[in-house]
Amino acid sequence: MSMPSKASKRIVVKIGTNLLTGRRAFDGHILEGLVQEIVSLKQDQGMDVLIVTSGAVGCGMDALGLVKRPTALPEKQAVAAVGQARLMHYYETLFRVYGKGMTTAQILLTQADLDSRQNYLNIRNTLSTLFTMKSVVPVVNENDSTATEELRFGDNDTLAAKIAAKANVDLLIILTDVDGLFDKDPREDPTASLIREVTQITDEIEALAGGAGSIASTGGMRTKLQAAKIAVAAGVDCIITSGYRKRVLHQILAGEAPHTNFRPAKVALSHRKRWIAFGRSICGTLHVDAGATAALVEKGKSLLPVGVQKVEGRFGAGAAVRIVDDAGAMIACGLANYDSETIDLLKGKKTEEITSILGHNDYDEIVHRDNLVLMH
């Protein structure tokens, strides 16, 4: 079995809905075992541990006797409001019992909390301070009761990866109901083999991911691969494994439990570029030609107006935009110097034409290289 790239002193543990609610009813037995492990890691090994939890909607379904997961947004938000209080009560009770007085700190986030650079830094500072409080375990969840579809992370795998990238952790462990990434679906094909290590998330690796797994969960292996992309770009090891195994966290740290280990990038993104790449909501798309693609990817240049072929979406200056090549593949993301209407006017034009088109020239670049992050 592979082990994390470096000794792990600070870890994020993402606990999936399936581990907390099974197909519907709350399963306190699994959470109880995980809490005991986290207490041991903190008290016996001096590790910092942050939990990213799912399960608010699942716990709400259990409390309200619902069999089918709500689909309408107001109903989901209401069920999550019921379930979040119940979920945190379980965490707080278990840590007080097994941690002999340890307590939890609840942090509820939406994507809007990360869009602002100042808010992003405030969250990072809060987490850093909580890590100094050795009797406290931060428990992070998406604020399902207030998040709209436009302001959602989409799933807590993505949230966990963004928190890992933000909090200077060594390792992200995503606990789910399978041992990791397989070359085939193990639920359908008994010959499926576990992929134990991934050094690069290629198109072939992404093609192995399937859909969502249960009625209470919104995630699947596809979302976990997206989370792994975020973590490794930030220099964080990411491990996907089954949370049903006893003492799974200790086994993972010892390199014993079956799992898939996604190895981190050799050069991690700076915190500012992590915020650009993973903290901001993408507001639009810029289609660029082959010359611009080569300039960005091979030469590390800025994106100039002449290389832009098409603008999608309506956004203001400073918005985060996706940059795709002429085949539609995402090659980068960055902060636009101009709004979408202005970029539409400037697309395909030479830099020296900007003043004659706009009457002024605030920027030579559509996206400056200092505000651009390559995504492959």
What letter represents residue 373's amino acid?
Answer: V
Range 208-229 average pLDDT: 68
Residue 14 phi/psi, 5-degree rounding, is -100, 120
| CATH no. for 10-272 | 3.40.1160.10
Look at residue 126 and tell me whether its pLDDT is greater than 80: yes
Band (pLDDT 50/70/90 cuts) for residue 26 is low
Q: What is the pTM of this model?
A: 0.82
Boundaries of every domain in the chain: 10-272, 281-374
- Render pLDDT for 176-201 as a digit per residue (tens, 0 to 9): 988 999 988 887 888 989 999 999 88
SS3 293: helix
Look at residue 74 and tell me whether its pLDDT is greater than 70: yes
Which CATH superfamily hosts domain 281-374? PUA domain (2.30.130.10)
Tell me which residue has tokens 């002429």: 326
Contact 320/276 with Cβ under 8 angstroms? Answer: yes
Structure tokens at 223: 């979302």
Residue 375 phi/psi, 5-degree rounding, is -115, 20
CA distance 331 to 373: 9
Contact 21/110 with Cβ under 8 angstroms? Answer: no
What letter represents residue 54's amino acid?
Answer: S
> In b/e form, how buried is each residue of 114-148, taking b as 16+ CB within 10 angstroms?
bbeeeebeebbeebeebbeeeebbbbbbbbbbebe
CA distance 234 to 330: 18
Share of the chain above pLDDT 90, in %: 60
Q: Residue 266 has what pLDDT?
A: 80
Share of the chain above pLDDT 70, in %: 91
CA distance 190 to 75: 39
